[in-house]
Chains A and B, each alone.
Chain A
Amino acid sequence: MPDPTRRTGLYDLHVEQGARMVPFAGWDMPVQFPMGVMAEHLHPRQRAGLFDVSHMGQVLVTPDDGQMATAAAALETLIPADVAGLAQGRQRYGLFTNDAGGILDDLMFANRGDHFLLVVNAACAEQDIAHLRTLAGVTVTPVTDRGLVALQGPQAEVALARLVPGVADMRFMDSTALEWDGVALWISRSGYTGEDGFEISVPETRLADFARALLAQPEVAPIGLGARDSLRLEVGMPLYGHDMDASVTPAQAALGWSIPKVRRTGGARAGGFPGAEVILAELGAAPVTRRGLRPEGRAPIREGVALFSDDGAPIGTVSSGGFGPSVGGPIAMARIPAEIPDGATIQAELRGKRVPLTVCALPFVTPSYKR
């Protein structure tokens, strides 16, 4: 029997705020609040938005011998990233890959001095934990007593700093523990909106109190998953299960940038991760790559819509698409043949009609991080 839909520690708060709740990756999550998706999208672009991301998996990977190099070496056998070179207090983006070179999940990992903290997608968490438990020399501990919120936007720092002054000293992709009202918050300066902001892991017992304290700040409004999706789409961030999956390689997903020189052919720790041969050979030479698409007119071109070249040949399917409130028009992403240049026109089949789209580089909106 499948598990019933799970609730985060902020469920009651969401309902109190008038959220429309929907099932998402096995969780009951707020898709929108009374403000509406359009305004919820624009709020974190201009002020600060609070997102409940407690459904995401938080996992600790601790070296059995107390040496971080041991845990880093183990993680590098699953993740084509520079884990060993990650300084204490810093975070990076990476991928779990499979033997065929496909992507099992994407994740953030942070060096917290005596262990790594990983944040993985909700839908993949169980599989990721089992995958991590195949590693020797480390202990894998799912964090079950903490929720996770993201505070995103140009005013996120000023709002959060009233509660936790130390965040003002953090820069993009820093990860640290800071105290609020007697509890330890695990904070990273990162997010999934393209805005400056923070992701904050909070003990479950104080999660709602902390969220209420943030919502009491004049800059902050609660934002649902609907706006989270359009925010990440505008900045060209892929969503697992949509823009990439186990059949898509890093190069095809336009995530080759997450594989540093040291893990590439000729690097000091080249390869040594699942699918390395396929993945490394394809960097810069993938037959299809994830690209941006700007539909002509106002009609959104959504996931699943078939794409054709100008001469009518099928060339792919939209992997994410919708309306970009900051762009002020429809935007989409798809993996299409790499030889199609930016600026080319392709066609989408929408309700029996062909709609032209212009191929473009990602992102649609330039991120503004505090580096």
Chain B
Amino acid sequence: MLKYTEDHEWLRAEGDEIVVGITKHASDQLGDVVFIELPEAGRAVEAGEEIVVIESVKAASDIVAPVAGTITAVNEALSDSPGDVNGDPMTAWFFRIKPADAGAMDGFMDEAAYKALVE
């Protein structure tokens, strides 16, 4: 199941965890990404908390935790090759989060709703 946030993140449910990345739209808006700072695995976060710093050649931006929960893993490879976010943003995941609320994915947009938002 793939869902989207208004902050231009994609969320993919895998077991009881959610994998999080940013959309092509977000990656295009950011421009060439040159630096990514990821949170530490094991960290408990609130929904809306800024947990990833992403720097493009143009500016710094934040990526927020889409739901409250615990970070279970981060994609360390992105720190070494941040440009992957521009290459294929749908496979360049940032972190996995175990939501505090099992129904956390329910409120987010499906692909059709997200497409309507960015078009």
- Check B60–A323 contact: CB distance below 8 A: no
- Check B32–A36 contact: CB distance below 8 A: yes
Question: In angstroms, how far is the closest chain B Cβ from the Cβ of A33?
Answer: 11
- Listed by A's residue number, 22 A-B pairs whose Cβ atoms lie within 8 Å are A31-B58, A32-B31, A36-B86, A37-B32, A38-B32, A38-B83, A226-B31, A226-B57, A226-B58, A298-B34, A298-B79, A298-B82, A299-B37, A299-B53, A300-B34, A300-B35, A300-B55, A300-B60, A302-B59, A323-B35, A323-B55, A323-B57
Interface flag for A325 (CB, 8 Å)? yes
- Check A351–B35 contact: CB distance below 8 A: no
- Check A322–B57 contact: CB distance below 8 A: yes
Interface flag for A193 (CB, 8 Å)? no
Interface flag for A230 (CB, 8 Å)? yes
Contacts of A299 in B (CB 8 A): 35, 37, 53, 55
- Check B57–A325 contact: CB distance below 8 A: yes
Task: Tell me if B's interface is mostly helix, strand, loop or mixed.
Answer: mixed
- Check B53–A38 contact: CB distance below 8 A: no
CA distance A305 to B109 in the complex (A): 37
> A32-B31, A298-B82 are known contacts. Are A38 and B57 too (CB-CB below 8 A)?
yes
- Residues of A at the B interface (CB closer than 8 Å) are 31-32, 36-39, 41, 226, 230, 298-300, 302, 322-323, 325, 330, 351
Contacts of A41 in B (CB 8 A): 57
Question: A-B pairs with the 3 shortest C-beta distances?
Answer: A38-B32, A323-B34, A37-B57
Q: In this complex, which of A39, A298, A325 has the most chain B Cβ atoms within 10 angstroms of its Cβ? A: A298
Contacts of A230 in B (CB 8 A): 57
Question: In angstroms, how far is the closest chain A Cβ from the Cβ of B23?
Answer: 17
Chain B 27-85 residues near chain A, CB threshold 8 A: 31-32, 34-35, 37, 53, 55-60, 79, 82-83
Q: Which residue of B lies closest to A297 (CB)?
A: B35
- Check A37–B58 contact: CB distance below 8 A: yes
CA distance A302 to B86 in the complex (A): 21
CA distance A39 to B31 in the complex (A): 11
Question: In angstroms, how far is the closest chain B Cβ from the Cβ of A248?
Answer: 25
Q: Which residue of B lies closest to A351 (CB)?
A: B53
CA distance A226 to B60 in the complex (A): 14
* Contact mask for chain B residues 70-108; partner A; CB cutoff 8 A; 1 contact, 0 none: 000000000100110010000000000000000000000
